[in-house]
Structure 1
């Protein structure tokens, strides 16, 4: 019998999780959500590009006489600081999310295994009339929809 995970969350633990999530929601309020098209159109910063950006900002900061005021160097430096602050936290959130998703998957799998074994027991041992309705209701999970047959075409032979 499969039992990948056994867990119980107390009301206090759930309240703590909810409070932490609400705090994150409040703190993350300034963050944006992009549409798919916006994501496609943005200039992306990969690993090599990040090194280029960092080096360029350093050179520009060291040579303020060549930087026009409308370039937005101060904003770019603030963006870099925010990026550096956000990345390790995003990694922690991703790890927590992955663990939560894996736990939900394992819980569902454990449930399915017990339900399938229980259903098999009902099919074999539960032949009494009192369980017939329950067996039929549960069998709906395995019902297959019939496929529509393609319309038959009649061919005429000419000889």
Structure 2
């Protein structure tokens, strides 16, 4: 078993990280929460679309006469500027999220592997050490749930 992570997160550091997250949320008070359906329905602007949107804004800025009066060019400009300002934050947070996920996965995996070893050792020598009850408790993790029998199809 390879030990890829050996670290501790102090309560003070954990609180500092949580405070930093709160600071980020405070500095971005306009963040919104879309439902899965809302997100799915929206046109997406990815890397390939950035040039298209930028050119469309330039066309609209230089030729506002063909746009209907109801078109809010200033709002489009604000949306483009907000997207461009948020993009580096999105990239940095995605990288941080991946590091946090990978570290948590590795720590959890190592903890699970160690727990499996403890369980195995306890099963092997638990009867002599009076661990039968604890071994049974640990074994509940692997207990299979009884399945309801599938209804039999009527023979036709």
TM-score, length-scaled by structure 2: 0.85
Q: Deviations over 1:61-84 (max 9, x none)?
A: 223454555311111111111111
* More relative contact order, 1 or 2 (CA 8 Å, 6+ apart): 1
Q: Identify unmatched segments of 5+ residues in structure 2.
A: none
Aligned CA-pair RMSD: 2.4
Separation (CA, whole Å) in 2 of partners of 1:141 and 1:18: 32
Q: Deviations over 1:46-95 (max 9, x none)?
A: 44443222112112222345455531111111111111110111110111
TM-score, length-scaled by structure 1: 0.84
**Structure 2 partner of 1:23:** 23
Structure of greater Rg: 1
What is the 5 A alignment of 1:10-89? 10-89=10-89
**Structure 2 partner of 1:7:** 7
Separation (CA, whole Å) in 2 of partners of 1:25 and 1:38: 22
Q: Identify unmatched segments of 5+ residues in structure 1.
A: none
